């Protein structure tokens, strides 16, 4: 199915007399979109079966939001990426549920929140934006812009989380889910994570 669509795109590109570079950009975007949708469906499908759909959804959206500005490690094939994503985010969901049941004192949430922000700030400062394998970000201006956007996003997220939690407009479990989603995204920037995913 995907190969047929790729052939169709190539055919249209030839008819429109697009350059090879433009065609490759379109194909890359198409493959990225398809794999992202498949990954998202896989993550949430497993979460639904496990009964942690909303928790995993919040963690996934948080990580995806920051990933847009910070980059991060990828598996070395689309299939592995989908499988790893389903495993990692549902594991985060299960950890969130157990953590939520174990925490009753709001002071602990505050401490955890500070730890999460600290990890994110250090990770973003040292490693963001992290290059995607095969597509390095070479323009210094673009790198600076992405890093700035990452920190602005972190500030907005932090304020939003504090308002939601203090105002009791968001359940504690979802606040924790978002925190763990941010932690994972921060960890995905580390060089050791790239090594674990098979990249040097």
- Give per-residue pLDDT as tens, 115-172: 999 999 999 999 999 876 556 676 788 889 999 999 999 999 999 998 887 767 788 8
- Confidence bin at 59 (pLDDT 50/70/90): very high
- pLDDT recorded at residue 76: 78
Given a cut of 70, is residue 2 above it in pLDDT? no
What's the average model confidence in pLDDT over 96-120?
89
Contact by Cβ (8 Å): 131, 89: no
Answer with the residue of higher pLDDT: 1 or 109: 109
Mean pLDDT of all residues belonging to the chain: 85
Does residue 134 form part of some domain?
yes
- pLDDT > 90: what percent of the chain? 54
Least confident of 50-64, 68-82, 150-164, 180-194: 68-82
Per DSSP, helices labelled H in the chain are 2-15, 20-50, 53-70, 78-102, 106-127, 140-166, 172-187, 191-196
d(CA 113, CA 109): 6
- pLDDT recorded at residue 134: 57
Does residue 33 form part of some domain?
no
Does residue 2 form part of some domain?
no
Does residue 178 form part of some domain?
yes
Given a cut of 60, is residue 182 above it in pLDDT? yes
d(CA 136, CA 121): 22
Q: Count other Cβ atoms within 10 Å, centred on residue 192.
A: 9
Does residue 73 form part of some domain?
yes
d(CA 196, CA 180): 19
Of the candidates 200, 197, 196, 186, the one whose C-alpha atom is nearest the C-alpha of residue 75 is: 197
Looking at the structure of the chain, the number of domains it has is 1
Given a cut of 90, is residue 81 above it in pLDDT? no
- pLDDT > 70: what percent of the chain? 78
- pLDDT recorded at residue 156: 96
- pLDDT recorded at residue 197: 80
- pLDDT recorded at residue 26: 67
d(CA 97, CA 50): 11
Burial code of 146-161, b = ≥16 C-beta within 10 A, e = fewer?
bbebbbebbeebbeeb
Question: How far are the Cα atoms of 82, 91, 116 from residue 44, in angstroms, in the given order?
Answer: 11, 12, 24
- Confidence bin at 96 (pLDDT 50/70/90): very high
Does residue 34 form part of some domain?
no
Question: How far are the Cα atoms of 59, 73, 81 from residue 101, in angstroms, in the given order?
Answer: 17, 31, 30
Does residue 9 form part of some domain?
no
- pLDDT recorded at residue 136: 65
- Confidence bin at 17 (pLDDT 50/70/90): low
- pLDDT recorded at residue 79: 86
Q: Give residue 151's domain range.
A: 55-196
Answer with the residue of higher pLDDT: 74 or 47: 47
């Amino acid at each position: 199915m995907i190969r047929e669509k790729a052939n169709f795109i190539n055919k249209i590109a030839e008819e429109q007399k697009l350059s090879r570079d433009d065609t490759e950009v379109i194909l890359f975007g198409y493959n990225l979109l398809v794999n992202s949708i498949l990954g998202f469906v896989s993550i949430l499908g497993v979460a639904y079966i496990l009964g942690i759909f909303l928790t995993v959804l919040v963690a996934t959206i948080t990580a995806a939001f920051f990933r847009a500005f910070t980059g991060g490690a990828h598996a070395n094939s689309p299939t592995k990426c989908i499988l790893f994503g389903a495993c990692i985010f549902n594991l985060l969901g299960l950890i969130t549920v157990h953590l939520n049941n174990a925490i009753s004192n709001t002071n602990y949430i505050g401490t955890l929140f500070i730890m999460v922000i600290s990890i994110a700030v250090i990770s973003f400062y040292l490693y963001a934006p992290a290059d995607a394998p095969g597509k390095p970000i070479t323009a210094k201006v673009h790198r600076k812009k992405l890093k700035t956007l990452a920190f602005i996003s972190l500030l907005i997220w932090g304020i939003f989380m504090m308002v939601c939690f203090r105002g009791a407009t968001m359940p504690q479990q979802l606040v924790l889910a978002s925190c763990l989603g941010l932690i994972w995204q921060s960890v995905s920037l580390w060089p050791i994570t790239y090594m674990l995913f098979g990249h040097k």
